[in-house]
Amino acid sequence: MANEKELALLKEFAPQIEHTNLIQAVWMFFLAAVVGLGFYALYVQIAEGHEVTGMRDNVVWGIYIVNFIFFMGVSYAGALISGTLHLFRAEWRKPINRIAEYITIIALLIGPCYILLCIGRLDRLQYLVLYGRIQSPITWDVIAISTDLFGCFIFLYLAVLRDIAAIRDFQAIRIPKWKRKLYTWLALGYTGTTEQRERLHRATDVMAAMVIAIAVIVYSVLAWIFSVTLQPGWHSTIFGPYFVIAAVFSGCGVMIVVMWLFRKLYHLEKYITRKHFVNVGVLMLILAALFGYFTFSDYLTKWYGSERNDELLISLLFDEYYWLFILSNYVGVLLPMVVVGIKRLRTINNITISAVIVVLALWVNRYLIVVPTLESPYLPIQDSRPEWLFYSSTWVEWALTAAGIAFFALAFTIASKFIPIINVSEMADSSTLEDEEILT
């Protein structure tokens, strides 16, 4: 049975679960409309062919694949923050680990959709299983992502189980009958006996470790899709770990932004404090340093050895893409280090602003990995339509990108109205003494 502290906490979150106010309804309608626009763009792409995108024979992958890498990376935030901090029993994670888990699962639902958008014949998708060849990194990816999705789903489910049971037991909450039935069904008969608690705890430990390992594999496989090819900008041994670091880095950025938004919207100032922003900020600082180091190593070796095609790529990056390169690989690395590194600048708002820049910078970083490389192949792009030389994305691609972001926000809003955005049960576990450790 849910204890008193749990019920007291639940009472606080009950209004979010019980009803949706007008602003929230309008907000959700707006997001749904953006997702709808995305579906229209998808319809156009399927009806008229991939010609409606900016992709052509040279740049065959555009911002779809950038979004794919981006969302997959973001999904790593939960695996790291929730999984690692759970294993290390870091008490301060308790108010924010639900946010981390939601990020993981929602981003993981969106990411793979983008790779589907790159596929010319969606009607033949079943061939990936029917005729799958294990030699192909795409097959590795199919296996890795489906394992990841499955693993993360179990992990999330274990993490929300106690809260679902608590809501089921919370008689005062005013929810329709079907909803209560749903909670009862989802709670799987969990009543909080000692044996159940122990089992749940052990299972969560195992899944936390698994999810971290699987996420490393998924992200490495994703990087290998690029690095196993002979393309000058991609054929790099550093790509596996580089992508893993970039993923956690972007995940931390998104984590901070989401924390800030929910803190403001749901008035969670009491639970999500400066301590959480600083702690995740410090993680972000470490990752910024690592990311900067990997980026530097990669481009240094390309530039110093100056093989002809590497040279072409570098000159393209520093010419055509100069400002984007500066934003992604200088500003995005140095800003979080300065903001979090200097104590005086370490405010909630400053950390959030730097996190927004980090998220943007990492999206651009992936763009700079994908597009300029395809624009500078071994054989110069010639005997081709001049308008095919450079990639520029079309409204269809942007509409689908916006739809992904909108779906992320929409799914988050809905999820937060179904199960409290703060892990009520884990918070209730701690004593008053521990509360201080968690919050300040």
The binding site for another protein (CB under 8 A) comprises 48-51, 55-58, 60-61, 118-121, 124-125, 127-128, 130-133, 135-139, 142, 225-226, 228-231, 234, 374, 377-386, 389
Q: Which is nearer to another protein, 176 or 386 (CB)?
A: 386
**Minimum distance of another protein from residue 146's CB (angstroms):** 14
Location of structure tokens 């946010």? 99
Distance (Å, whole) CA 411 – CA 417? 10
Toward another protein, which CB reaches closer, 121 or 177? 121
Q: What is the DSSP letter of 54?
A: S
Six-digit token string for 255: 């984590």
Residue closer to another protein, measured from CB, 20 or 139: 139
Least Å from the CB of residue 125 to another protein? 7
Minimal distance in Å, beta carbon 253 to another protein? Answer: 28
Q: Give every CB contact of residue 364 below 8 A, 6+ residues apart in sequence.
A: 324, 327, 328, 332
Beta-carbon contacts of residue 196 (< 8 Å; ≥ 6 apart): 190
Nearer to another protein, 135 or 432 (CB): 135
Looking only at Cα atoms, what is the longest distance across the chain? 74
Q: How far is the CB of 64 from another protein (least distance, A)?
A: 11
Tell me how far apart the alpha carbons of residues 124 and 119 are, in angstroms, rounded to a whole number: 9
Q: How far apart are CA 418 and CA 299, in angstroms?
A: 46
Distance CA 399, CA 277 (A): 32
Task: In angstroms, give the least distance from the CB of 113 to another protein.
Answer: 14
Instruction: Give the nearer residue to another protein in terms of CB position, either 308 or 343.
Output: 308
Give the angle 416-82-199 at the CA atoms, nearest 5°. 95
Measured between alpha carbons, how far is 261 from 271 in angstroms, rounded to an integer? 13
Nearer to another protein, 29 or 378 (CB): 378
Kindly report the backbone phi and psi dihedral angles of residue 134, in degrees, each rounded to the nearest multiple of 5, phi listed first: -70, -15
Distance (Å, whole) CA 411 – CA 212: 23
Please report how close the Cβ of residue 60 comes to another protein at its closest, in angstroms.
4
State in angstroms the smallest separation of the CB of 406 from another protein.
Answer: 26
Backbone region of residue 43 per phi and psi (left: phi > 0; alpha: psi in -120 to 50; beta: other values):
alpha
Spell out the residues 6+ positions from residue 267 whose beta carbon is closer than 8 angstroms to its own.
none
To another protein, the closest distance from the beta carbon of 301 in angstroms equals 18
**Which residue, 69 or 351, is less far from another protein as judged by CB?**
69
Distance between CA atoms of residues 81 and 256, nearest Å: 11
Closest distance of CB 324 from another protein, Å: 21
DSSP letters of 347-409? -HHHHHHHHHHHHHHHHHHHHHHHHHHHHS-SS-S-SS-GGGSS----HHHHHHHHHHHHHHH
Q: Which is nearer to another protein, 119 or 282 (CB)?
A: 119
- Residue 122 Cβ vs another protein, minimum distance, rounded to whole Å: 8
- Decide whether 121 or 344 has the Cβ nearer to another protein: 121
Closest to another protein by CB, 204 vs 227, is: 227
Q: What are phi and psi of 397, to 5 degrees?
A: -65, -40
In contact, 58 and 381? CB cutoff 8 Å = yes
